[in-house]
Amino acid sequence: MTGGSSRKTDIRPDAVAGGDRAMLARAITLMESRRPDHRAKARELLQSLMPRTGKAVRVGITGVPGVGKSTAIDALGSMLTARGHKVAVLAVDPTSTRSGGAILGDKTRMAKLAVDPNAFIRPSPSSGTLGGVAAKTRETMLLCEAAGFDVILVETVGVGQSETAVADLTDFFLVLMLPGAGDELQGIKKGILELADMIAVNKADDDPLRAKAAAAEYRAALHILTPASTNWTPPVVTVSGLTGQGLDELWGRVLDHRGRMEASSELAAKRRAQDTKWMWALVHERLHESLAHDPQVRGRVPEIERAIAGGTLSPTAGADEIIGLLGL
């Protein structure tokens, strides 16, 4: 390893904890590395910083395409930094695994936060599996908390399972929707509504009456579902990321939820359950990597795949043979 590479992995926990942004960025890059020596350093770094984590408000945010997530996050984050908060925006993007890249447009999509000294924007790395992406995002979240960021906004950029992944990372799950609920309700998955701690109808400045009507329909939809907590009924609010309308009320509801969950000890229990899921996500990621890089497995897999495609081997038998090659 060259001296320059060594310096890149020589990360001081006290510098991260002191809010050194360059050191934080380097720490996150170290966490994303798959090299065994880097992983050992990353594990040691995270372990040393764990006592400084856990105090932030963690909010997951999702929404249908065109709902204005980036504009709403930019406005909400800017409102919070103006109040003295330090805000980190992280993105979970399972679609980035196809190209091996990350989201390059985050900072241009959130113009105000991109230049805000009290904000930090970071996309999720590509990681081959959604579980791996979520695990890396969680490590990034903990590093940001250790660096003093007291509000973490985790955005789902992809669709499908990413909503569940982000809900498993955060304390509060916000679903942004558009006015015109009649059409929207047809396309909403019940599972997403079940995850929601609040629904916010965005772009309410365009047509306030239509936004209010949509909010009423979403409330009716939520009423048929059983809330995740007996201490919280998911509210529906109308907001405008463009004008900032309703964002103060939205944040007030987030804090109200946190207060109730802390008082009932549900927040601590939820985070403990999330820690366990995080561990298993890492286990699955490491097993997947072992399969992908084991020379014996790589040499045999094409033959197994051809046999399955040709109908001479069942998928179950093929899976058993591959696992057997790992000695499991």
222 φ/ψ angles, rounded to the nearest 5 degrees: -70, -30
**Rg of the chain (C-alpha set):** 22
- For 8, 58, 161, 168, 194, the CA distances from 265, given in Å and listed in that order, are 40, 16, 27, 17, 21
Whole-number Å distance between alpha carbons of 265 and 287:
34
Check residue 117 and give its pLDDT. Answer: 95
pLDDT (mean) for 117-121: 95
Check residue 101 and give its pLDDT. Answer: 42
Residues contacting 9, CB < 8 A, separation 6+:
30, 37, 38, 41
Task: Report the percentage of the chain scoring pLDDT > 90.
Answer: 56
pLDDT (mean) for 172-187: 75
Check residue 200 and give its pLDDT. Answer: 95
pLDDT greater than 70 at residue 265:
yes
pLDDT greater than 60 at residue 128:
no
pLDDT greater than 50 at residue 1:
no
Whole-number Å distance between alpha carbons of 192 and 280:
23
Q: How confident is the model at residue 91 (pLDDT cuts 50, 70, 90)?
A: confident
Check residue 104 and give its pLDDT. Answer: 45
Q: How confident is the model at residue 20 (pLDDT cuts 50, 70, 90)?
A: very high
SS3 326: coil
Please report, for the chain, the start and end positions of each structural domain, with discontinuous segments joined by +: 1-52, 53-264, 278-325
pLDDT greater than 50 at residue 223:
yes
Lookup: tokens for 285: 């990621």
Q: How confident is the model at residue 98 (pLDDT cuts 50, 70, 90)?
A: very low
Q: What's the CATH number of domain 53-264, 3.30.565.10, 3.40.50.300, 3.40.50.1970, 3.20.10.10?
A: 3.40.50.300
Segment 132-163, tens digit of pLDDT: 666 788 999 999 999 999 999 999 876 667 78
pLDDT greater than 70 at residue 40:
yes
Residues contacting 142, CB < 8 A, separation 6+:
46, 49, 50, 53
Least confident of 133-142, 198-207, 247-256: 133-142
- Domain 278-325: state its class: mainly alpha
Lookup: tokens for 250: 């939205």
Q: Letter for the amino acid at 183?
A: D
Q: Letter for the amino acid at 136?
A: K
Sign of the CA dihedral 291, 295, 297, 301? positive
Check residue 278 and give its pLDDT. Answer: 85
- CATH fold for the domain made of 1-52: 1.20.5
- For 81, 165, 228, the CA distances from 28, given in Å and listed in that order, are 22, 19, 33
